[in-house]
Amino acid sequence: QTNRQRDGDAKASSQPEAAVPKLLHSLSKRFLGPISSPLPGPPSLPFLGNMLDLAQEHLPIHLTSLAQRYGNIYRLNFGNTTMVVLNSSEIIREALIKKWSDFAGRPYSYTGDIVSGGGRTISLGDFSEEWKAQRRVAHRALQRCTMDSLHSVIEKQAHHLCQVLRDYNEKAVDLSEDFTVAASNVITTLTLGKSYDKRADQLQKLHDCLNKTVSLWGSPWISALDSFPLLRILPNPPFSRLLKEVGRRDKLIGKHIEEFKTLTDTHVHMTTVDLLIGGTETTASLLNWTVAFLLHRPEVQNEVYKELCGVLDVRYPKYSDRDRLPYLCALINEMLRLRPVAPLAVPHRAIRNSSIAGHFIPKNTLIIPNLYGAHHDPEVWEDPYSFKPERFLEGGGGSVRALIPFGGGARLCLGEAVAKMEMFLFTAYLLRDFQFLPASKEEPLPDLRGVASVVLKVKPYTVIAHPREQ
């Protein structure tokens, strides 16, 4: 609505002849739900609906391009489900934060139920008293870690990571596994009370199976089973593999949980799964993205290095130094903006009839917060596809308020505080101790488009970690 329209509406409603439509409006609102125009969206094919849109290789980019045609809120159909995609930070905030109690649900899905032990993970469990208690317990436990020991746990892993990189002696290597081990060891220290060597058989097995579970679950062969129940009777090798991986995962986690004699119930088991999945691939991928982008703009590494040396002299940074390190913080914010590693968050479900941006949203509608789209909204971000940490420096025009990489409201990422501290300390340690150089002049720089599944990952690449002279 323009200001002019709003002024016009205000005048009209103060005149007597406006009373009749107003009465009709409030009656219809009461009995039929709010009046609103139907949601726009691409044409829906018989039987398939918008399945072809949803099967696109890089879904966040595709959904963002649809927003250019259909606006910041549009609908997609598949099977008997309607999905509403939100593409700007204002609209996502309205649904997830302002109307959190309307949209805090999670949709039921046949395959989601299997990977979440019957909806008992925090991330996939529906909004209920039981879920609230589970989230509260996990949240309190993480808060306690944040206050007591999280800083030293991350510092230890950051020092270890730097040593691993030094031991490569400037060989060109793919660092993704080392980043995964570092992020994973933070979470296993918090949840299981131990960390693992990179080569430890248990760690390899755990990550192999968590990775396979997440990527198989995100594959179209498996999501099709949610929308088209008839397909469930046909043989489906990826689905059989998923069932096998879920079984392996539960055996591995079960072994660890057994050690905590009093904590053997399914919720504790599934909370551990949540923290391991939510807390490993996300942070590790963001570190891997950061190095990939820095290879494209090496001068940014030098700026951060200069800032670290200027402010800290020779000591390693603490999280409390962040106000004195604006360039480093700008780099992390820009990475969270450009590559929100959970690009479509986790689908929400409308718990009751409600509205978003003036559109009526019926109970049970699926809501997709397109965080990737919101972070590339040209109305908010100048030159949204460019890597420019400077936009977050004073006067650079970047709005921290429009950043929503962790979602918001009742379903705000449970590990936000952990992830922010990890990103700060890991990035600071790495850029203090190393200059990242391309593997060779002949090889192309890393591909920055990435591979999108539940987590947005960079394609494998190799890099040289050249130690800085201290």
Least spacing, CB of residue 430 vs ligand HEM, in Å: 15
Q: Determine the residue with CB nearest ligand HEM.
A: 415
Adjacent-strand bridge partners of 451: 457
Q: Considering only residues 102-121, where is the footprint of ligand HEM by CB under 6 A?
A: none
How many Cα atoms occupy the beta-carbon half-sphere of 252 within 13 Å? 20
- Work out whether 414 is an interface residue with ligand HEM (CB under 6 A): yes
Adjacent-strand bridge partners of 466: 435
99 neighbors 71 (Cβ within 8 angstroms): no
| Per-residue interface string for the shown chain with ligand HEM, residues 199-238, x marking contact by CB under 6 A | ----------------------------------------
Least spacing, CB of residue 1 vs ligand HEM, in Å: 27
Least spacing, CB of residue 445 vs ligand HEM, in Å: 23
Instruction: List the beta strands (DSSP E) in 392-462.
Output: 434-438, 451-452, 456-457
CA–CA gap between residue 265 and residue 233 (Å, rounded): 32
Q: How many residues bind ligand HEM (CB under 6 A)?
A: 27
- Residue 100 vs residues 18, 122, 127, 215: alpha-carbon distances, Å: 33, 16, 11, 29
Least spacing, CB of residue 4 vs ligand HEM, in Å: 35
371 neighbors 343 (Cβ within 8 angstroms): yes
Terminal CA-CA length for the chain = 58
Least spacing, CB of residue 27 vs ligand HEM, in Å: 35
- Work out whether 457 is an interface residue with ligand HEM (CB under 6 A): no
* Interface with ligand HEM (CB under 6 A), residue from 367, 418, 431, 463: 418
Q: Residue 66 or residue 286: which is nearer to ligand HEM going by CB?
A: 286
- Work out whether 413 is an interface residue with ligand HEM (CB under 6 A): yes
| Per-residue interface string for the shown chain with ligand HEM, residues 116-145, x marking contact by CB under 6 A | ------xx-----------x----------
Q: What is the DSSP string of 63-102?
A: HHHHHHHH-SEEEEEETTEEEEEE-SHHHHHIIIIITHHH
**Among candidate residues 187, 185, 177, the one with its CA nearest the CA of residue 158:** 185
Residue 26: helix, strand or coil by DSSP? Answer: helix
- Work out whether 253 is an interface residue with ligand HEM (CB under 6 A): no
Listed ranges 60-68, 150-158, 236-244, 276-284: which one lies at the site for ligand HEM (CB under 6 A): 276-284
Q: Residue 51 or residue 189: which is nearer to ligand HEM going by CB?
A: 189
| Per-residue interface string for the shown chain with ligand HEM, residues 346-365, x marking contact by CB under 6 A | x-------------------
Residue spans of alpha helices (H) in 174-325: 176-192, 201-217, 220-227, 237-257, 266-296, 298-312
* Residue 5 phi, psi (nearest 5): -60, -45
Least spacing, CB of residue 215 vs ligand HEM, in Å: 17
- Work out whether 419 is an interface residue with ligand HEM (CB under 6 A): yes
* Interface with ligand HEM (CB under 6 A), residue from 107, 117, 405, 438: 405
- Work out whether 345 is an interface residue with ligand HEM (CB under 6 A): yes
* Interface with ligand HEM (CB under 6 A), residue from 406, 424, 426, 461: 406
**In the numeric block, which tokens belong to residue 283?**
């942070």
| Per-residue interface string for the shown chain with ligand HEM, residues 367-396, x marking contact by CB under 6 A | --x---------------------------
CA–CA gap between residue 461 and residue 466 (Å, rounded): 16
- Work out whether 274 is an interface residue with ligand HEM (CB under 6 A): yes
* Interface with ligand HEM (CB under 6 A), residue from 49, 107, 278, 317: 278
- Work out whether 51 is an interface residue with ligand HEM (CB under 6 A): no
CA–CA gap between residue 286 and residue 466 (Å, rounded): 20
Query: How do strand 366-369 and strand 359-361 relate by DSSP bridges?
Result: unpaired
CA–CA gap between residue 55 and residue 31 (Å, rounded): 38
CA–CA gap between residue 347 and residue 369 (Å, rounded): 7
| Per-residue interface string for the shown chain with ligand HEM, residues 300-319, x marking contact by CB under 6 A | --------------------
- Work out whether 275 is an interface residue with ligand HEM (CB under 6 A): yes
- Work out whether 279 is an interface residue with ligand HEM (CB under 6 A): yes
CA–CA gap between residue 91 and residue 38 (Å, rounded): 17
- Work out whether 283 is an interface residue with ligand HEM (CB under 6 A): yes
Residue with tokens 């504790």: 268
Listed ranges 12-20, 158-166, 273-281, 357-365: which one lies at the site for ligand HEM (CB under 6 A): 273-281
CA–CA gap between residue 41 and residue 292 (Å, rounded): 35
DSSP code for 55: T
**Binding positions for ligand HEM, rule: CB under 6 A:** 96, 122-123, 135, 187, 274-275, 278-279, 282-283, 286, 340-342, 345-346, 369, 405-407, 411, 413-415, 418-419
